[in-house]
Structure 1
Amino acid sequence: MPDVSTAPVFKLVRRTREPVAAQTLRSTVAAVISYVVALMVLPAQPAPLTAPLTALLVVQVTLYATLTTGIRRVNSVVAGVVVAIGFSALVGLTWWSLGLTIFAALIVGHLVRVSEFVPEVAISAMLVLGVTQVGSAAWHRILETLIGAGVGLLFNLLLAPPVWVQPAGASIEGLADDIGRMLRAMGDDVAGLGHVPVAHAAARLHEARRLDHAIVEVDASLRQAEESLLLNPRVRQGLLARVVLRTGLDTLEICAVVLRVLSRTMTDLAKFRTDESLFPADVAALLRELFGHMARAVESFARLTTTQVAANAEEAETRLTEALAAGRAVRDRVADLLLEDVQEHPRQWQLHGALLSEVDRILDELDVDKRGERLMQELDRRAAELGERHPRLAALAARLRGTGSAPSRPSVET
């Protein structure tokens, strides 16, 4: 009997659990089911392909997107059918009536706010206008769309779509790794190169500026994760997960901005000290150690933000606390040495002060206590917004908690 390896099978099973693979499989199955249902309800000729097309478009990566997309899709088809019925009652199908139909359908699409389905309004109008029995074609078009949207929505309700928190967490950790790598590289430049050429320091500055592109990509991934938590029956504490990830990204974004300013300070120092080292040897060695502690703090902060296991979170918090404590201790030693150096050589003392203040800002942003305060403030803000938008729901939640009434809003004196 030939030896058959099962590794490819296990690899395929693991891949089907990934969000992209799962979404591909879900969309295919939903489209096929909607086509079968349409064949059971509608005539086989012409083939009811609008139903699987609608299901394919409606089944999104999140339940919230599926619901909103389904509503816009149905609205676009209904609007196009109404436009076609109106024109068919007045004029026949000619080149100029077709142009007027498309023009009117596109305008109506923008008026009914169907977003990306504006062309669908014109497509539905053309398909209905081009048949002889307008009423029957219009009804079939609407029914196929309703079948596809209904199957797509039920498919996501019965089989909840994947939660995209893990890819978002990986993106956040990747951003933290980039920041940590840059901090270590800056420490190696100061201690290893001694004399840092202006061009080299400017290259580090450009590298820090490129972090903005990474932040945009991480933000897009996080938005998808936040949306996947909305209305998802598989998620119990969706609000908390969204707030933890969002506040974590906000902190890393601040660190990236401060890192860019820190790179600017190092570049300015390199411009003034073209024939000598940026710092004395003892200061340079401590700066390398300081930047190393800051890099570990940033990476530990990201792990603390993205971990979903209590034991791992406690371990990440311990590493973060240790890195921050070590960083602050080394920072104080650097400040003492820089003060002595400034007293002897008071050149560019303001850049030394800027360097220390930027280090302080990063260490302060990563502080564990500040992270807790930021989380509580954001949760309170979200709760207040929910109470303002849905006061009855807030009152019901207050009764269930046993408070008896919804939290009163502060009065405003005039």
Structure 2
Amino acid sequence: MAGKGRGVRDVTDPLLDLVRRHSEPVVAQTLRSTVAAVLAYVVALLLSSEPAPLTAPLTALLVVQVTLYTTLTTGVRRVNSVVVGVVIAIGFSSLVGLTWWSLGLIILASLVIGRFVRAGEFVPEVAISAMLVLGVTTTRVAATAWDRVLETLIGAVVGLLFNVLFVPPVWVQPASESIEHLAGRMRDLLLRLGDQVLGQVPVAEAAARLHEARQLDHDVVQVDAALRQAEDSLRMNPRVKEGLLSRVVLRTGLDTLEISAVVLRTACRTLTDLAKARTGEPLFRGDIAGALRELFGHMARAVESFAVLITTQVSASAEEAEDRLVQELAASRASREVVAHLLLDGVREHPRQWQLHGALLAEIDRILDELDVAKRSERLVEELNRQSREQREKYPWVAKLRARLGAAPEHRLDALRLPPE
């Protein structure tokens, strides 16, 4: 009985976990795609002459994406690919039957034409549609072809309407959590560097910190993927009033953390080289090591405050995070000056590896400069202006319409309001 109970739990636990995680993008996408596919099948049964119009739910399954923006763009490209494939099949069916060489020829023609009609990732769908239609008997080609077009249109329309009526969530929270996780990894690494500079450091330990810094590149890639999804969820979403500003705040924040991660990796390499040159002795003199530890601690808290600043959704919390960031940056710069004077005195007495000391200070300066609040504001304004200019050039009619309606500019730095998750 105990074994049987464990077996039931083994089956139900993943289902319960899926229910608990209903707010995650993967779970929400699974549920939304299922409902849209079923609705498309029901509508196709009413409108199509096919006994099992499975193309409709298949299209809806592929069209319903995790964001409204990708749903609209995917739906248009998919309908385009299917219609082109059907037209190609009808043309071939009137000339040749289904043979090995005609099959190869229609696949080749479909893939080439699919590139010209800009089917995007649905280029293979052009060939698939052509093959399925060509595979029926000649007398049934026209009926089957247009049934497939009808089912595709039904699936695409149902998928589009489903995401328009039931707008997908804004996936800012998962992206924010990913950014905070990246900043947390950087904070922990800085704190470990502060502990590492105290006393003698084995080369293996310094190399381990360098490997940890290199792993930050993988974290950046994962955060970038989550942020791209969040950016798509903000586009064309009626729940978002300041979509451009929200996207720019998160994107520029990730850019800053990415640059800081690269410089931090270089700093770890500098400390590793120093450990190799000073085996059997401390990396730094006692007072220098203590000052460095304090400096790395302030920098760790500055990185954490920066992540909170760019991911917070409440103005009061943003102001608190900015105040903490300003304080930690000021403390970091003060500690940096102390370290610089101590290192200079030490180099005058013992000039060994003086270039590594200078490199470490330069890398610390670069990180502090990237996290600077004034520089962040300048970067935000520049990026907002650039993207606004590109949108006006790409869609001039939108700018004219907003001007006639007297609408305020979309980007206002004091109006960041993201919808609740």
Counterpart residue type for residue 26 of structure 1: R
Mapped to 2, the partners of 1:37 and 1:292 lie a distance apart of 62
What per-residue deviation string (whole Å, max 9, x for no partner) do you get for residues 56-87 of structure 1?
A: 00000111111111111111111111111111
Counterpart residue type for residue 378 of structure 1: E
Contact 1:229 1:235 in 2 (8 A): yes
What per-residue deviation string (whole Å, max 9, x for no partner) do you get for residues 151-175 of structure 1?
A: 0001111111111111111111111
Tell me the equivalent position of 1:135: 142
Mapped to 2, the partners of 1:87 and 1:391 lie a distance apart of 42
Q: Does residue 181 of structure 1 match 2:188? A: yes
Shift of 1:400: 4.4
Shift of 1:394: 2.6
What per-residue deviation string (whole Å, max 9, x for no partner) do you get for residues 73-132 of structure 1?
A: 111111111111111101122233223222322222233232222222122112111222
Secondary structure of the residue aligned to 1:258 is helix
Tell me the equivalent position of 1:36: 42
Contact 1:19 1:163 in 2 (8 A): no
Tell me the equivalent position of 2:107: 102
Unaligned runs of 5+ in 2: 1-13, 409-421
Mapped to 2, the partners of 1:363 and 1:258 lie a distance apart of 10
Mapped to 2, the partners of 1:11 and 1:130 lie a distance apart of 44
Contact 1:63 1:228 in 2 (8 A): yes
Counterpart residue type for residue 117 of structure 2: V
Tell me the equivalent position of 2:4: none
Tell me the equivalent position of 1:24: 30
Tell me the equivalent position of 1:313: 318
Contact 1:201 1:263 in 2 (8 A): yes
Match of 2:170 among 163, 174, 185: 163
Secondary structure of the residue aligned to 1:48 is coil
Q: Percent identity?
A: 71
Counterpart residue type for residue 223 of structure 2: V
Tell me the equivalent position of 2:301: 296
Mapped to 2, the partners of 1:313 and 1:14 lie a distance apart of 30
Tell me the equivalent position of 2:157: 150
Q: Does residue 84 of structure 1 match 2:52? A: no
Tell me the equivalent position of 2:290: 285
Residues 52 and 402 of structure 1: CA distance in aligned 2, closer, same or farther (over 3 Å): closer
Secondary structure of the residue aligned to 2:94 is helix
Match of 1:243 among 248, 260, 270: 248
Mapped to 2, the partners of 1:276 and 1:399 lie a distance apart of 73
Match of 1:390 among 395, 411, 416: 395
Contact 2:106 2:127 in 1 (8 A): yes
Q: Does residue 54 of structure 1 match 2:59? A: yes
Secondary structure of the residue aligned to 2:197 is helix
Tell me the equivalent position of 2:70: 65
What per-residue deviation string (whole Å, max 9, x for no partner) do you get for residues 326-383 of structure 1?
A: 2122111111211211221222222212211211111121122221111111111111
Q: Does residue 116 of structure 1 match 2:121? A: yes
Identify which range, 70-79 or 394-403, moves more after superposition. Answer: 394-403
Mapped to 1, the partners of 2:219 and 2:24 lie a distance apart of 22
Mapped to 1, the partners of 2:407 and 2:158 lie a distance apart of 40
Counterpart residue type for residue 362 of structure 2: S
Counterpart residue type for residue 22 of structure 2: T
Shift of 1:221: 1.1
What per-residue deviation string (whole Å, max 9, x for no partner) do you get for residues 228-272 of structure 1?
A: 111111111110100000010010011101101111211221222
Contact 2:50 2:147 in 1 (8 A): no
CA RMSD of aligned residues (A): 2.0
Mapped to 2, the partners of 1:340 and 1:311 lie a distance apart of 44
Counterpart residue type for residue 321 of structure 1: V
Residues 85 and 44 of structure 1: CA distance in aligned 2, closer, same or farther (over 3 Å): closer
Contact 2:49 2:147 in 1 (8 A): no
Mapped to 2, the partners of 1:117 and 1:9 lie a distance apart of 32
Mapped to 2, the partners of 1:218 and 1:39 lie a distance apart of 42
Tell me the equivalent position of 1:360: 365
Q: Does residue 199 of structure 1 match 2:168? A: no
Counterpart residue type for residue 176 of structure 1: A
Counterpart residue type for residue 190 of structure 1: V
Residues 402 and 41 of structure 1: CA distance in aligned 2, closer, same or farther (over 3 Å): closer
Secondary structure of the residue aligned to 1:210 is helix
Residues 230 and 89 of structure 1: CA distance in aligned 2, closer, same or farther (over 3 Å): same
Aligned length: 393
Could you state the TM-score of these two structures normalised by the residue count of structure 2? 0.89
Secondary structure of the residue aligned to 1:161 is coil
Tell me the equivalent position of 1:343: 348
